[in-house]
Structure 1
Amino acid sequence: MKAVQFTEHGDRGVLEYGDFPEPEVDPDEVLVDVKAASLNHLDIWTRRGLPGVELEMPHIPGSDMAGVVTEVGERVTRFEAGDRVALIAGVAGGGDEFSRKGDPTLAPDFHIIGEHVRGVHAEFAAIPEENLVPVPEGVPWEVAGSASLVFQTAWRMLVDRGELRPGEKVLVLGASGGVGHAAVQIADYAGAEVYATASTDEKLEYAEECGADHVINYEEDDFSKEIQTLTDGRGVDMVVDHIGEATYKQSLKSLVKGGRVVTCGATTGPDPGAGLNYIFWNQLSVIGSTMATPGEADEVLDLVWDGTFEPRIRETLPMSEIDRAHELIEERQGFGKVVVIPDSEL
């Protein structure tokens, strides 16, 4: 089969799309003929190299995909050949405590397909059945292959960890990215008043289409000052911040007393300084969130499958143009998700 792969960490030049052995199917696994996959920012970090994460080389990236089951292991009970499926990338062992009905993100050995182990940017992928969900007929492959990671991440951040309530004011940073544009839609669906930031007027128009009530161009304005102006000095109840060092202090300054920052990542760096003076004086909460439980993922994906939520696609490319796909993410070009399709499917 053909697969995206790299044998060393580095810039986009380490990526290639070439021959790779077709995966063998373990008893608890399902072999999927990949129809569409997509990129997330973690693909950039994985390619560059993450501290403390040692990968088996060559590594296949990719944590989002959808396709058709072609083979099932002898212990598989949930799927059969011909089923349409999508990936849920979070994996945990740990026995019954961290089963599908529990919270695998809290397991000591929690890891992510594509980030810590070989991923799905390939023609075929062997996936544990617990990491797949059914995709209804009629859902386009581009939608099915690009929704899972960002919508489950944003849903857990806002609904479960952040406990978002109707009528609250929510600021979503980086609304043009995968998690950002999902968070805007979820906040709007939950009945919040949604504020969103992006770097261009075009991106802000897309954010408004996704449900943002107020938009701020962070290249032109200090968003924390704009929030104070827009809320008559009150601030927002929640900030969704996956940016990190570049935005953290402004996020704290944007909050009402007793407000909360929810974070799932730090694309500009992980060490912004604690900001303890803001936190204790204004009684703020900083809440971490990673991926989602299977139940949370099922809940939000049902809303994707029925059209309530829509993953916006900025560009669809052949997998052989993986360099360009990484460039779109790395250089923050466009709005929404970047989809890659095996060349054999085109």
Structure 2
Amino acid sequence: MDSMRAAVLTGHGGNEVVSVTTRPMPRRQPGEVLVRMRASGLNRVDLYMRNSGAGITHELPMVMGLDGAGTVEEADPGSRFAPGDPVVVYPVRTCGRCEFCLRGEEVLCTSARYLGEHIDGSLSGFVCVPEENLVRKPEHLDWVEAASLCVAGLTAWRMIHTKGQVKPGETVLVFGIGGSVSLAALQLRADGGIRTIVTSRDQEKLDAALKLGAFAGIRTDSERFVDEVMDLTGGRGIDLVIENVGKAVWPQAMRALVRGGRIVTCGATSGDDPSADLRRLFIRQLKVLGSTLGTGSELAELVAFVDRHQVKPHIDSVYPLTRVHEAFDRMEAGRQFGKIGITFE
């Protein structure tokens, strides 16, 4: 087999620049594993790459996509993976030599290349990645659920556990429930004793989150937002805020925090220039932490947690690769509640 089907970015604009077409098969190099893709998914960055990709070094045409789960097709002799093994893909190629890679923080690698952003991605029939970029798929997950761990799950895991250092007895506020990262943050909180309050402008999404274990839901557009937070926490405030909306919710997020509380942010869909509120920041000794994706070892921790607790990531909808334009339309409209999956024939 010399070719495969893939979703290819040919320019920047709308769906007209995303083409499902035939591409050459990737050529496996020593130390790499060829993976036959079974499922992928969409992330906000895919929409960003389609719309402009500004600030991200890339060449067109380029295969889109970061999420990926599938089966091993080829590997080196002596590899810990064999043909047919089900795997989840870590979507970053790193140098392995810079100071960040050497201290186990390869997500900060000075020459990191992300699938679907800098190099050909996972919305394709096959992907080649270094062997260390693979983790065995939990048996209880289907292919789309497994693929959702690669970006949304991993991003939420690093925000909550590595950066946020959540502890039993704390209260977590998650903005924008419905997005796959926010929903993963709800599902991947610690083993017990954590109260999660979620926000949305959509009451149906709040109701759905309550069924998935949220302690309470608050309308983001409520004029009493901070008062409602204080009512729910006995006037104390929030220990940890998980946020990826940016400018539109930043003032509420800062005011909702308890003294010494922390906010972890991984996005800015509504704008990246909120008011800093420096006086509140230093007087209340708040911590603001940035976070993006996660490391390979964090992906392994996440997969082990999901396997141990039999967590099933919430999937909004699934489309075949041939209907990827419909999937983009759904994400752009903000209608989804969880991951939008893509499957391959």
Q: Do the two structures share a fold, i.e. TM-score over 0.5?
A: yes
Alignment of 1:137-216 (within 5 A): 137-187=139-189, 189-216=191-218
Report how far residue 32 of structure 1 moved. Answer: 1.1
Determine if the alignment matches structure 1 residue 294 to structure 2 residue 296.
Answer: yes
Change (3 A) 1:140 1:198: same
In 2, the alpha carbon distance for the partners of 1:91 and 1:114 equals 11
Q: What is the SS of the residue equivalent to 1:329?
A: helix
Equivalent residue, structure 2, for 1:90? 92
Match of residue 48 from structure 1: 51
Q: Distance in 1 between matches of 2:240 and 2:213?
A: 16
Superposition deviation, residue 94 in structure 1: 3.8
Aligned to 2:159, the other structure's residue is in SS state helix
Which secondary structure does the structure 2 equivalent of 1:157 belong to?
A: helix
Which residue pairs with 2:14 in the alignment?
11
Selected match of 1:65 from 64, 68, 71: 68
Seen in structure 2, the aligned counterparts of structure 1 residues 226 and 138 have a Cα distance that, compared at 3 Å, is closer
- Contact kept, 8 Å, 1:25 with 1:73, in 2: the verdict is no
Give the Å deviation of 1:221.
4.6
- Secondary structure of the structure 2 residue equivalent to 1:125: strand
Amino acid at match of 2:158: R
Give the C-alpha shift of residue 90 in structure 1: 2.8
How many angstroms apart in 1 are the aligned matches of 2:234 and 2:6?
Answer: 53
Match of 1:241 among 216, 240, 243: 243
For 1:244 and 1:102, the matched residues in 2 are separated by 28
Match for residue 276 of structure 2? 274
Question: Structure 1 residues 79 and 165, CA, compared in 2 at 3 Å: closer, same or farther?
Answer: same
Partner SS state of residue 285, structure 2 = coil
Is the 8 Å Cα contact of residues 170 and 237 (structure 1) preserved in structure 2?
A: yes
Q: Provide the C-alpha distance between the structure 2 equivalents of 1:78 and 1:96, rounded to a whole number of angstroms.
A: 26
In structure 2, distance between residues paired with 1:223 and 1:16: 43
Amino acid of the residue matched to residue 113 of structure 1? L
Are the equivalent residues in 1 in contact too, given 2:265–2:289 (CA < 8 A)? yes
Moved more, 222-231 or 126-135: 222-231
Q: Is the 8 A contact 1:63 1:120 kept in 2?
A: yes
Over aligned residues, Cα RMSD in angstroms? 2.0
Whole-Å separation in 2 of the counterparts to 1:330 and 1:101: 38
Which region of structure 1 is more displaced relative to structure 2, 237-246 or 7-16? 7-16
How far did 1:220 drift? Answer: 4.3
CA displacement 1:84-141 (0-9 Å, x = unmatched):
1111113321428555971102221233222222110011111222211111445311
1:305-320 map, 5 Å: 305-320=307-322
Shift of 1:51: 2.9
Query: What's the counterpart of residue 29 of structure 1?
Result: 32
Matched-pair identity in %: 37
SS class of match (1:189): coil
Residues 1:231 and 2:242 aligned together: no
Residue 40 to residue 190, structure 1, CA distance change in 2 (3 Å)? farther
CA distance, structure 1, for counterparts of residue 153 and residue 140 of structure 2: 19
User: How far did residue 80 of structure 1 move?
Assistant: 2.1
| Cα distance in structure 1, aligned partners of 2:173 and 2:156 | 13
Q: 1-side partners of 2:69 and 2:111: how far apart?
A: 25
**Residues 239-282 of structure 1: CA distance to partner in whole angstroms, max 9, x if unpaired?**
10111111111110111111111111212222213221221122
Deviation at 1:186, TM superposition (A): 2.3
Cα distance in 2 for partners of 1:177, 1:267 equals 11
Question: How many residues in Structure 1 have an aligned counterpart in Structure 2?
Answer: 342
Mapped contact 1:101–1:294 kept (Cα < 8 A): no
Structure 1 residues 215 and 100: alpha-carbon distance in aligned structure 2, compared to 1, 3 A threshold: farther
Comparing 242-251 and 103-112, the one that deviates more: 103-112
Q: CA deviation at 1:142?
A: 1.9
Separation in structure 2 between the aligned mates of residue 324 and residue 125 of structure 1, nearest angstrom: 23
2:119 aligned with 1:105, yes or no?
A: no
User: Which range moves more in the overlay, 89-98 or 57-66?
Assistant: 89-98
SS of 1:187 mapped into structure 2: coil
Per the TM alignment, residue 188 of structure 1 is displaced from its structure 2 partner at its CA by 5.7
CA distance in 2, matches of 1:100, 1:320: 41
Q: CA deviation at 1:336?
A: 0.4
Structure 1: which 5+ runs fail to align?
none
Deviation at 1:214, TM superposition (A): 0.8
- Counterparts of 1:185 and 1:49 in 2: how far apart (Å)? 32
Any stretches of 5+ residues in structure 2 without a counterpart?
Answer: none
Q: Give 3-state SS (helix, strand or coil) of 2:62's partner.
A: coil
Amino acid at match of 1:115: E
Q: 1:218 to 1:41 in 2, by over 3 A?
A: same
Is the partner of 1:286 in helix, strand or coil?
strand
Task: Output the TM-score relative to the length of structure 2.
Answer: 0.93
